[in-house]
Amino acid sequence: MTQHAPSYYAATANRQTARLALTTTITTEICIIGAGFTGISAALELAAKNIPVVVLESVRVGFGASGRNGGQIVNGYSRDLDVIADRYGPGPGKAIGAMALEGGAIIRERVKKYAIKCDLTEGGLFCAFSQKQLEGLRHHKKIWSEYGHQAMDILDHDQMQNHVVTTRYVGALLDHLGGHIHPLNLVQGEAEAAESHGATIYENSPAIAIENGQTPVVKTPNGEVRCKTILVCGNAYLGNLLPEITARIMPVTTQIIATEPLGDEAAKLLPSNVCVEDANYVLDYYRRTPDTRILYGGGIVYGGTDSESITAKIRPNMLKTFPSLKDAKIDYAWSGNFALTLTRFPQMGRLGDNLLFSHGCSGHGVTTTHLLGRLLAEAVTGDPTRFNIIANLPYYPFPGGRLFRVPATIAGSWYYRARDALGL
C-alpha cells in the first residue's frame, strides 16, 4: 500500500492505520477529490451541517503538501494585501483583506473544539537580511494594521535575539497571530472530526475519471461515487485528471530536513519557540519540534528528491543560520509540491454547473486552504458570495501552455520571465 513521504511527521503521526479503499458504487451529495487541508476543511464544514459528503484520496489523508509542510501558520496570502487591492481593485481587495485572518482562526477553533493534538504553538517571525527588507516588513505591518491586525511588532537585531539566536539578520517582524503545528496531525485530526459528523473518507482511492454532467460520477480503480457536486482539491498532485484545471498551476518542490533531537541546544537557538521564515523571495523557513529537533526548510528547490541530495542542499542553509549545528545528524529529509499560480494568489472556479475547484496558495497555504475549504462549502450550500469574490477574479494562464512540459530545472527562471512578460 502506498504511504506517506518519509518525513518527521509521518514517523510521529498520531494515526498510523490506513482507511479502506472504495470498492463499490456509492451515492452521496458532495464528492471531494483530495484529502489535504482544502478538501478536509470543506468536508468538515459540510459534514458539520449534516450534508452527506465522501472524500476520495489517492494515497493517505495529508499525503500531499498538507501533511509534509513547514507547519508554519502564516496569515494572509502569498501576496501583500495592498498588492492584491492594487491588482484586483478596492472592492475585491477589501473583501479579500477581510478574510485574511480567518484561516488561522479556523485552525485554532478546530484544534480547541475537537481537541486535536498537533503541537499548536503561537508566534511567527519574519526576518530581514537588510535594512531594505526590514523596511518592507514595516510596510507589511502597516498594511496589516489597516486591515485590523494590530498584533505585530518590529524587532531590531538585539530584540530579535530573544526569538532566534543568529547573526544573519538585521531585524524582524513578530506576528503574534502566527504560529506552528504538526501539519499531518492537524489534517488527520480534522479528518477524524469530519468523520465524527458523518463524512466518509476513502484512502488509496484515486479519482481516475470524471463524468461532469447533470448527474456527476467520479470513478476510482475499483468503485465509483455518484453525487450532485464534485469539489476538486487535488492541488499540485492532481496530475492530468482535469487538464483545464492543472494548466492553471505549476507544481513547485520545496524540501525540508529535521535534525536529530538536540536537547537544550534547540531552545538556545530558538528561545521563544516561534517559527521563523526569512524575507527572501526564495526563502528559508524553520522551527523547533517538541522533541527538540530543528526542522529546516529550503524555499523553492528544483530537482533532488532522494534524502541525500535534499540534505546536501538544505543543510548548508541551516549551517549559515546556526553554525553550531555542524555536527548535528540529519534524521529526516523529504520534499513536497505546492501549486504556484502566476500571480501567487489562489484560484477558485467552476467547470460546468456541478464541479468546483480550489488550488494555488503558492507556498503559503496552511491558513488559506482552511479558508478556501470553508468557501467551497458555503458555495455548495447556497451562499456562493465569498467563493464568487475569488472565482470572479481574472486569472492569468501560464504562457506556453501545460506546466508539465516545463523541465523542473528551468521552471524557476521560466516563471519569472512569464511574470515579467505579463507585467505581474
Rounded Cα–Cα distance for residues 198 and 201 (Å): 10
> C-beta of 327: minimal distance to ligand FAD in Å?
25
Alpha-carbon gap, residue 13 to 187, rounded angstroms: 10
| Cα(94)–Cα(249) distance, integer angstroms | 25
Q: Applying CB under 6 A, does 371 fall inside the site for ligand FAD?
A: no
Q: How far is the CB of 58 from ligand FAD (least distance, A)?
A: 4
Asked if 259 touches ligand FAD (CB under 6 A), the answer is no
Least distance between ligand FAD and beta carbon 53 (Å): 14
Tell me which DSSP letter residue 56 carries: E
Between residue 49 and residue 68, which ones bind ligand FAD under the rule CB under 6 A? 56-59, 63-66, 68
**77-106 residues near ligand FAD, rule: CB under 6 A:** none
Residue 271 neighbours by CB distance under 10 Å: 14
Of positions 13, 42, 53, 74, contacts ligand FAD by CB under 6 A? 74
Q: How many CB atoms lie within 10 A of CB 136?
A: 16
Question: Is the alpha carbon torsion for 231, 56, 337, 111 positive or negative?
Answer: positive
Tell me how far apart the alpha carbons of residues 411 and 415 are, in angstroms, rounded to a whole number: 6
Which residue stretch of 88-96, 105-113, 333-341, 384-392 sits at the interface with ligand FAD (rule: CB under 6 A)? 333-341
Per-residue interface string for the shown chain with ligand FAD, residues 213-242, x marking contact by CB under 6 A = --------------------xxxxxx--x-
**Helix segments in 173-224, DSSP class H:** 183-196
The residue among 188 and 400 lying less far from ligand FAD, judged by its C-beta, is 188
Name the grid cell of 113: 473544539
Q: Which is nearer to ligand FAD, 6 or 399 (CB)?
A: 6
Phi, psi angles (nearest 5°) of residue 316: -60, -35
Supply the minimum distance, in Å, between the C-beta of residue 131 and ligand FAD. 26
Q: What is the CA radius of gyration of the chain?
A: 21
Quick check: 286 binds ligand FAD (CB under 6 A)?
A: no
Chain residues binding ligand FAD by CB under 6 A are 33-39, 56-59, 63-66, 68-72, 74, 206-207, 233-238, 241, 254, 256, 285, 297, 336-338, 359, 361, 363-366, 369
